[in-house]
Structure 1
Amino acid sequence: MASTAFRLRRIGAIITISGATLAATATAASAQSNGGDGTALWAARQRVADPAAVVPRRSVQEAALEGTSRVNPLDVLVIGGGATGCGVALDAATRGLRVGLVERDDFSSGTSSRSTKLIHGGVRYLEKAVFNLDYGQLKLVFHALKERKQVIQNAPHLCHALPCMNPCFSWFEVVYYWSGLKLYDLVAGRQMLHLSRYYSVEQSAQLFPTLATKGKGRSLKGTVVYYDGQMNDSRLNVGLACTAALVGAAVLNHAEVVELIKDEVDERVVGARVRDTISGKVFDTYAKVVVNAAGPFCDAVRKMANKDAEPMICPSSGVHIVLPDYYSPEGMGLIVPKTKDGRVVFMLPWLGRTIAGTTDSSTTITMLPEPHEDEIQFILDAICDYLNVQVRRSDVLSAWSGIRPLAIDPNAKNTESISRDHVVSEDFPGLITITGGKWTTYRSMAEDAVDAAIKSGKLKPENGCVTDQLRIVGAYGWEPASFTVLAQNYIRMKQTKGKVIPGVMDTAVSKHLSHAYGSASEHVAAIAQNENLGKRIVHGYPYLEAEVAYCARNEYCESAIDFIARRSRLAFLDTDAASRALPRIIQILATEHKWDKSRQKLELQKANEFLETFKSSKNAQFRDGKHNRK
């Protein structure tokens, strides 16, 4: 009891600090909302919200990059098309700067598509702030809460609030988690999604039927539920890239930087030599400042400028698995607060399936990291301890590994600087590197990087940062009930055995289209209706043939992998379903991109090789809607 009283006193102390900081934060936010250039924001909103607006074709974007020179450079060239890189391109372009972006693979092909799909509000920072009386950690909480709210507001069709259940097996845990999360509500203030609350054992069992109430010498005393944000990460990332393109940035995926170009006099980085990995074409593009946002590959880019550069990345591997939907109820997540080695594991509903993860272990940096069997088993063991059903290895539909680029400040004196916060550094003239951080704070990270680029290149932006008030493409005009418009106004024309047959735009499909594409979903529905592309590409999932065509025309979908992994999420949800969908996906892309038979064969080979990194022979399969164990 003494320990409990001590912890509660610490919570009381932090409340006093948080109250003052909350007031200061509100004042600063109010001041910020009255600043900036309203004209620039209005113009950007008009371009993004225009339903007739289309992104420039890939060939046009490449020509814009190739058309630069030493005397006619871009203001900013971004290397890396993840969340941070696309955020930098969008921020810089909306400040009136001339911007280019190149990505070696596809937008969101790396870490940004392999997250836990949560937009964290910093609840774990709050715990550290309480127990260490650390005001710095408290500021991180305020920052995470503010950015979480903005991510959800700027992409409401792709993000939503998700209740997360924290099971308590002692009355101390009930008091501890309830008081801590009530403090979190207080700190959140206007940034709060919903109030946290306690549920009895009976209520908890109704909300989460597979939660164990007894076992392993313990009994459940109740649960405390709080709210965090959830997103479709790669679709949000692609949306950022397309939004940047709509406001003037020249964004190019499948374009690898092979060399940095330096000024012959002062050795300043002034551009990059780029290879189009689709056509093989090599060209130079020039910029006043280069921003390195290559995630885990930041050090590889830095070594192009200086082969002796000290590392800024401490790579960490995070593995997730996907299970059938029956393991978690729709609309409620579960937190395993402490695994055998002290980690936290989440079990979350996502796109009709269940995600569980993650692990945290050191790793080497590779283009396609693969999950190890012991990591998959670790996650299964962790969630089994909290469920009243046995989770089988054969239930795993897909598994993936992502590399977290934990940041090391190159100017720090020791390795204790390894952090999950971000670092912005110009350790070589003309090359700004931004790394670390997390999805929640991508926007503010991008703002910091653009500020640094402006200072380094003595750039002259037309206005300040406006991305905190700018929604992404598809968000303007979208409402939660928008799916009803699709269901009421569109039919799915499809070809079956050579005959064109009308089909109903059912609720599952219309909801999927509405949430995946926002207000642009009507364009997808129109393609399904007018071009006889209304069939599902694979049984058991709501993805339509029309989406493949739409993504090829409007979202820079240049390969089969681009579609199964980043435009749809089939590779992440069900590797077997993705494999069965490939022939039809490739057939449609071949029509859109005018591929010959040789290219189609190569696409199938590459996509199947890619899917192998998401599965093992033990993975489950769904055939014709039935779960088949191997």
Structure 2
Amino acid sequence: MNRDAAKRRLQTEPFDICIIGAGASGAGAALDATLRGYRVALIDRGDFSGETSSRSTKLIHGGVRYLEQAIKKLDLAQLKQVRHGLAERRTVIRNAPHLAHPLGLLTPVFSRFEGLYISFGLALYDFFARDSTFPKGRWLSRKEALSVMPTLTPRMHSAVQYYDGQLNDARYALALAQSAAEAGAAVANYMALTAFSHDANGRIERATLTDQLTDESLTIQATLFLNCTGPYADAIRLLANPALESRIRPSKGVHMVLPRSVLNSDSAMLIPKTPDGRVVFAIPFGDQVFVGTTDNDYRDLNAEPVLEPAEIDYLLETLAPYVAQVPKRTDVKAGFGGIRPLIVSSRADTKTLLRDHEVEHDERSGLLSLLGGKWTTYRLMAQDAIDQAGDQLGRPAPCTTDTHYLVGGENYRFDDWKQLHQQYNLPDDVCQHLMRTYGTRAVQVAALTRNDDTLRDRLLDQQPYIRAEVIYQVQHEMAMTLRDVLARRWRLELADWQLTAQAAAAVADLLAVSLNWTSAQRDSHLADYLSLLTSFQKQAGMKTETRSFA
């Protein structure tokens, strides 16, 4: 992906569809539309998956909680949502096997009756899935459960095991955008839509874009505009037609990050009961464990949702009955928050609002808006939106994304890391990291080390990130800022704020060379990012270590 080339295309080419927002749904829609033969532009005011889509629980799932509610309330809408999610798990993994995989989850229980109840529910879950690629759930004895997850409380009676999927959400969205670009879409990050131009009948025919990196203004022409901005969808809808009513009720969900030793397992934990009726997950991700999520109304969409002290206390208290040794506040290494785009309904609170999606067509302005949804069903959401777009264009075409490999996914075999090691003499852990991060494109990253031996150097001791990756991310993945690299192309910011700060200066040096920053620009970018990391620590009530951030 080349941002300068994409900018020129945005200004000079007429498009069939301009997609606003490059998270899961927007990037997914861009790939779908491009594969159907439409002329597509994909823009985002920030980075790819810079907001909600990079801050999920990293699960691909049908929704165990939704199944329970569907059965208890005989709610067919919830049941439909579960079946859609279960059907899509296999496709999400199949199309990007380097970025998604099956994940075992344990649910500790404290009585035989509780075990029977949950086992019955998960048997239904497997029945609706009808997916032989995932192992079947089973009821484990206490001894068996402790062999899978040694840190579970000995007070438990037993545990129920089932399987869902896990994905690297930010890199998955990036792979969707890359795949769309390679199929012919014009793709650009940091390109904000600031105004619409309407024809005499009030229909949108052009839009004004502002380059967030240069403040340059440009105009894009498209027959249709598709709003895929998640929790920010109402702002675009009202920009297109001020008479519309709000449709999104934002909900904040946060995760705290603990050391992997809290679980000491490759499996995750589902905590089925919390005082306020939620479910909470503890999920291994790299060297850490993500614990979340919360669910509360969120009003200030201009402020990034962050981990706060009360949320740490809530998550620690929720985890405490299920582990032998309860983590302390000082064990928290980082945290991150996201905003769910829940669709407004008559239901009472965000825990019961449907997360299924809707494609809205505003007849006055012509704007299409893809509302709601979740990561697991991003492809179905995109398909529904582009089906409607094709009808509006008068050129319907079939969807083919169910069998389309994303970049790095086709012919992927994890064991090819051994060939990478033999060919480029990189350490084993580095080669394994490259395969999991870039898939079959890992060889392109490794090849950069041939002409510059310093690019094989690690950025952090005991971590697999090497300097060549930053160069590759700028050249091929449109990385433009420190946070693009450290929070999204790598997931270091989500996992450990202290390590992120230690790596920031070296990353800034590499970006400065690749992006032609002046010395003053390099220092400004670095200072701003270190300040942001410090603010995250302060807002979480954690002790800041400013010296290492300087």
TM-score (norm 2): 0.95
Q: Name the Cα RMSD after superposition.
A: 2.1
- The Cα of 1:271 is off from its aligned counterpart by 2.4
Q: CA deviation at 1:308?
A: 3.5
Tell me, in whole angstroms, the C-alpha distance in 2 between the residues paired with 1:100 and 1:63: 12
- Counterparts of 1:253 and 1:577 in 2: how far apart (Å)? 26
Map 1:340-489 → 2, pairs under 5 A = 340-364=275-299, 365-408=301-344, 418-427=353-362, 428-458=364-394, 460-461=395-396, 463-489=397-423
Q: 1:155 to 1:199 in 2, by over 3 A?
A: same
Output the CA distance in 1 between the equivalents of 2:227 and 2:66: 28
**CA deviation digits over 1:297-334, x for unaligned, max 9?**
11111121223421111000001011111111231111
> 2: distance between equivalents of 1:372 and 1:414?
25
Pick the aligned partner of 1:583 from 505, 514, 532: 505
1:180–1:418 distance in 2 versus 1, CA, 3 Å = closer
Report runs of 4+ in structure 1 exceeding 6 Å deviation. 412-417, 620-623
Structure 2 spans left out of the alignment, 5+ residues:
none
Deviations 1:355-384 (A, max 9, x none): 100000001223522222101211111111
Aligned AA for 1:282?
A: S
Listed one character per residue, the Cα deviations across residues 187-231 of structure 1 (whole Å, up to 9, x for unaligned) are 2113651111111111112211111122xxxxx221010001001
Structure 1 alignment gaps of length 5 or more: 1-54, 215-219, 492-504
- Paired letter, 1:425: E
- Which amino acid in 2 is paired with 1:333? A
Distance 2:272 2:201 in 1: 53
Computing the radius of gyration over CA atoms, which structure comes out larger, 1 or 2? 1
2:111 aligned partner: 170
Change (3 A) 1:192 1:142: farther
Residue identity matched to 2:464: P
Which residue matches 2:160? 224
Q: Which residue of 2 aligns with 1:160?
A: 101
**Paired residue for 1:599?**
521
3-state SS in 2 of match to 1:385: helix
Report the residue type matching 1:97 in the other structure.
Y
Supply the distance in 1 between the matched residues of 2:432 and 2:347 (Cα, whole angstroms): 52
CA distance in 1 between partners of 2:358 and 2:90 (Å): 22
Q: Once the 2 structures are TM-superposed, how far is the Cα of residue 455 of structure 1 from its aligned partner?
A: 2.2
How far is 1:507 from its partner?
Answer: 2.1
Report the secondary structure of 1:552's partner residue.
helix
Aligned-residue offset at 1:418: 4.3
- Shift of the 517–339 alpha-carbon distance from structure 1 to 2, 3 Å rule, reads same
Counterparts of 1:620 and 1:396, CA distance in 2 = 10
Structure 2 CA distance for partners of 1:583 and 1:211, relative to 1, 3 Å:
same
Partner Cα distance (1:538, 1:366) in 2: 33
Q: Which secondary structure state, in structure 2, belongs to the residue aligned with residue 60 of structure 1?
A: helix
Match of 1:244, SS state, is: helix
Which residues in structure 2 correspond to 1:50-65 (within 5 Å)? Answer: 55=1, 57-65=2-10
- Aligned pair count? 542
Change (3 A) 1:85 1:415: same
- SS of the residue 1:272 aligns to: strand
Shift of 1:132: 2.7
**After the TM superposition, which residues 550-561 of structure 1 pair with which residues of structure 2 at under 5 Å, given as runs?**
550-561=472-483
SS across alignment from 2:410? coil
2:119 is the alignment partner of 1:141: no
Which residue is 1:523 aligned to?
Answer: 444
Counterpart residue type for residue 180 of structure 2: A
Q: 1:296 aligns to what?
A: 231
Partner of 2:505, secondary structure, is helix
Aligned with 2:103: secondary structure?
strand
Q: Distance in 1 between matches of 2:64 and 2:272?
A: 12
Preserved CA contact (<8 Å) 1:426 1:432: yes
Letter matched to residue 3 of structure 2: R
Alignment of 1:210-359 (within 5 A): 210-214=151-155, 220-263=156-199, 265-359=200-294
CA deviation string 1:61-90 (max 9, x = no partner): 11111003xxxx210001101110101111
Counterparts of 2:101 and 2:542 in 1: how far apart (Å)? 29
C-alpha displacement of 1:275: 0.6
Partner of 2:489: 567
For residue 102 of structure 1, report the CA deviation from its aligned partner.
1.0
Percent identical: 38
Match for residue 96 of structure 1? Answer: 37
Quick one: which of 150, 155, 160 aligns to 2:91?
150
Moved more, 605-614 or 532-541: 605-614
Q: Secondary structure at the match of 2:131?
A: helix
CA distance change for structure 1 residues 330 and 523 in 2, over 3 Å: closer, same or farther?
Answer: farther
Q: In the alignment, which of 18, 40, 59 is matched to residue 118 of structure 1? A: 59
Q: Are the equivalent residues in 2 in contact too, given 1:62–1:252 (CA < 8 A)?
A: yes
Query: After alignment, is 438-447 or 126-135 more displaced?
Result: 126-135
Tell me, what secondary structure is at the counterpart of 1:468?
helix
Q: CA deviation at 1:91?
A: 0.6
For 2:348 and 2:68, how far apart are their aligned partners in 1? 25
What one-letter code is carried by the residue in structure 1 that aligns with 2:36?
R
Look up the match of 1:45: none
Distance in 1 of aligned mates of 2:450 and 2:265: 30
SS of 1:471's equivalent? coil
Question: Counterpart in 2 of 1:534?
Answer: 456
Deviation at 1:387, TM superposition (A): 0.9
AA in 1 matched with 2:383:
E
Q: Which residue of 2 aligns with 1:43?
A: none
